[in-house]
Structure 1
C-alpha cells in the first residue's frame, strides 16, 4: 500500500520465524528480532522485528468460572478469588502487549510475564488435582481448545486463499501437521510468505499470527504432565522443583542440542518447568514453611546468577531474556519466589487499585481471547493509522510528530480493537467452560451475553504489518 504522493511502496522486513523455521534459500536476511520501529513517513510502514517467540504468550491458563489459584489453606479466611493473583495476570497481559509493540528488551527483566503466568497456572492446577486427574485434564483441554478453533478458523482460510498449498509445501504429513491447529500438541505450520507486499496483508503476516500458539502447546504439555509432577513434588519437593533448572542448563545452553521443534518444546518445558512447580509449592503451602529471609536470599542468588549468565550470553537484542534460556529460567524462578512469598490474600483490591477492578475482572475472564488475538490486532493498527497520511491537514501540520510517536499510537489504538474482539468472540470462552455466554464479563451485575456476535468483526479483519 502506498501513499498517493509518495511513489514508493511499503517496506515490510522479512522477520524471524517464531518457531525457528529457517528461511528459504535466497531470502533476505532477517532484521534483529527486537528492532525498534523507525519513524514512518508517508507511504512507509514502521519496520520492526518480531520479538522472540518465547514471550508471545503471557496468557493465563483457562480456569473454571470463579476458580483461581489461591494461597495456602492456612492463609485463606474465606473462599473466593484471590485478587492479587488476578492483578498479576492482568499486568502480565499488558506487559506482553507493551513488549510486542515497543520491543524493549528490558521489559523481560522488569517483569518476566511467562514465568509468572506458568506459576499461577501451576498453582491452579495443583488445587484442581484434588479431584480425579483425568477429569481435570479433560476440563482444562475443553476450556482451552474452542477459542483456539475460532482463531484457527479465521487464520487458516486466509492462508489458503493467499495461495498456500500445504500438500505441496509440507509433504506427505501435511494433514497431521495441520491438525496442530485443532489440537496444538506441536507447532502449527504456516507459509513463510503469504499475501501481497503492496496489499492489506503483508507477506509475513502468517508467521506473526502463528507465533502466540507456542504457549498453547507448552500449556498442554504441562497440564498432561501435572499429575506426575505433583506426585513427584509431594514426595521429593526440592528435586522436583530444581530439576527443570538442571534440564535447562543442559538443553538451553547448547550442551546438548535437540534439533527441530522437539528441541524447542523440550526447552520451553525446561525453562518454565520450575515456575510451574513453584505454583504447586505455593498452593501446597510449602513456600510458607520456608523462613522469608531464607527464601528471598536464595531467590536473589538465582536472579543474580541469571543476570550474570545473561551478561556473557547476550543475544541479538542484548538483555532480552527470551534469547537466553538459562537466564530466563533462573531470573523468572527467583522473581516468582519473591512475588509468592509476599503474596497478600486479597478478596478485594485495596485502595486505589479498586478503581481497576472491572478491567482486571474482564482481562481475567477473557485472557485467552486477548492472548490469541493481540498480535493480529497490533498488525491491524497499521493500516488504520496510515490513514493519517491521507488527510492533508493532518499530514502537513502533524506529520513529523505523528511519525515520532507512531508506536505510542499503536499502543493506544490496539486496546479498542481488543475490546471489539472480546465482544466478537470472547463469549466462546464461556461456552467452553459450560457457562452462559457473556459479552463483557467485567463483574457488573445484570449484563447478559445476548446473541450479537458482530461487534468485533472490524478488529478481526486482519492487519497489514507484522513485526
Structure 2
C-alpha cells in the first residue's frame, strides 16, 4: 500500500498540538526575590481543563503509528527481532542523545551548586513528554503478536483490550497495564483502519465513544481534564482511565469522518510541503519543545523584562499570543541547532542479525529507565539520576550492537520520505 498523506498529517498534527498545548498552559511568575515559579494553570483556573479536549489528540498518534506499523510488519518477512530492533532504535537513538545532553547539563548544574528545587523543576519540565516513549516501545515490541491477533480476530482485539483495561482499572497496580491497553486500543485500531475494517464506522465510533465520555465525566467519577492535574483523583491520564478510553474511540471516529475532506486538502502541494516539513522535524519538536520555555524564562523572566498580569486575567490571555510566537521562533532556532545531531543515527551501524536476548534485555532496561525519567524527571530531588542514566545507556547499547550494514536513508528518523514503504518513522517517535 502506498503512502497515505492523511496518516502523515495526523502524526504531524498530533505533534503540533502537544507542543502548542504544553506551551499554552505553561505559566511563569517572577517572585519579588527573583525566583521563578511555575503555577499550574489547570489547577488554579479549573475551567481551563476544558481546553485539554482540544489538545489531547495523542490517540491519533497511536492510531497513525498502528497504521504504519501494520504495513511495515507485513513486509518484514517474519523477522521479528530485526524489525523490533529497527523500530526501537528510531526512538532510542534520538531520545538517548537528548537525554545525554540534558543529563550532562544536570550534572554540571549540580556541581556548581544550582538550587536543588530549581534543578528538580527544570529536570521534570525537560522530561514531562517522556511518558510516551516507554509505552510506544512496548507496543512496538508487541507488534508481531498484536498484528497476528488482528489477522485472526480483527475488531474483537481492540474491543477485548478495552474490556481488560476496564477491569484492570479496579485491580491493584492494574493501572500500569492500562497504559499499554488504552493506548494499545488506538494502535490496534490503526491495523483495522489500514485493512478496511473501520470503513463506514466513523459515526458509530464518535457516537459511542462521545456518549461514554460524557457519561463518565458527568455521571461518573472522572474529571474533564485529559491532562494530569495535581491532586486530582482519579486522573484521566495517570494511568489512562475509562474516560480516556472513550475519548480514544471518539477521536478515532472523528478522524475517519474527516478523512475524505482532509485528503482533498492534502492533495494540494503547498499544504503537503508544510505537513511534510513538520513531520520531518517531529522527533526534534517532541523531545526539545520545553527548551524554548527555559530560554525565554531566562531571557525575559529572570531579567524582569516580561510583563506579569494576574494569572488568567484578560491581559494574561492576550499575552499568550506573543508568548507562543516567541517560543515558536526560539523553537525554530533549536531545530536548526540540533539538526546535526540527527546524523548520529545515520552514522550508527544497525545489526538486524544481532542476538535476540540482547534486544529484549536492552528494551527492558530502556523502558524502565525512560519510565523513571517520565515519572521523576531528570533531576529527582535535585540530584543526578545515576541508575536511570546507566539503565538507558546500557539498554540502548544492547539494542544497538555493532552491525553488518549501515543504516539506510529510509531508516533515518528525520526523513519523512520513508513513509512510502510503510516504514515511516514519524508515528514511531512521538
Specify if TM > 0.5: yes
Q: Distance in 2 between matches of 1:403 and 1:327?
A: 31
Aligned: 1:277 with 2:188: yes
Shift of 1:269: 0.8
Alignment of 1:71-220 (within 5 A): 73=1, 79=2, 81-103=3-25, 104-110=48-54, 112-130=56-74, 131=76, 132=78, 133-163=80-110, 195-196=114-115, 203-220=120-137
Shift of 1:154: 1.2
Shift of 1:349: 2.1
Shift of 1:237: 1.5
Residues 390/116 of structure 1: CA separation in 2 closer, same or farther (3 Å cut): closer
Q: Distance in 2 between matches of 1:116 and 1:404?
A: 28
Aligned length: 314
Aligned partner of residue 204 in structure 1, secondary structure: helix
Q: Distance in 1 between matches of 2:4 and 2:341?
A: 24
Q: Distance in 1 between matches of 2:190 and 2:71?
A: 10
Residues 365/339 of structure 1: CA separation in 2 closer, same or farther (3 Å cut): same
Greater length-normalized contact order (CA 8 Å, ≥ 6 residues apart): 2
TM-score, normalization by structure 1 = 0.60
Q: Distance in 1 between matches of 2:119 and 2:323?
A: 17
Q: Distance in 1 between matches of 2:416 and 2:192?
A: 30
TM-score, normalization by structure 2 = 0.64
1:363 maps to which of 245, 269, 278? 278
Q: Distance in 2 between matches of 1:404 and 1:321?
A: 21
Decide whether the 8 Å contact of 2:62 with 2:187 is kept in 1.
yes
Decide whether the 8 Å contact of 1:230 with 1:280 is kept in 2.
yes
Q: Deviations over 1:193-237 (max 9, x none)?
A: x94389xx5541111212211111011000001110111111112
Q: Deviations over 1:169-191 (max 9, x none)?
A: xxxxxxxxxxxxxxxxxxxxxxx
Decide whether the 8 Å contact of 1:244 with 1:270 is kept in 2.
yes
Decide whether the 8 Å contact of 2:168 with 2:175 is kept in 1.
no
Aligned: 1:332 with 2:245: no
Q: What is residue 379 of structure 1 aligned with on the other side? A: 294
Q: Distance in 2 between matches of 1:387 and 1:195?
A: 15
Q: Distance in 2 between matches of 1:410 and 1:442?
A: 29
1:245 maps to which of 162, 181, 192? 162
Decide whether the 8 Å contact of 2:106 with 2:119 is kept in 1.
no
Shift of 1:405: 3.6
Provide structure 2 residue ranges, at least 5 long, that are not aligned to the other structure: 26-47, 228-234, 347-406, 418-430
Provide structure 1 residue ranges, at least 5 long, that are not aligned to the other structure: 1-72, 74-78, 165-193, 444-467
Decide whether the 8 Å contact of 1:82 with 1:347 is kept in 2.
no
| Superposition RMSD in Å | 3.4
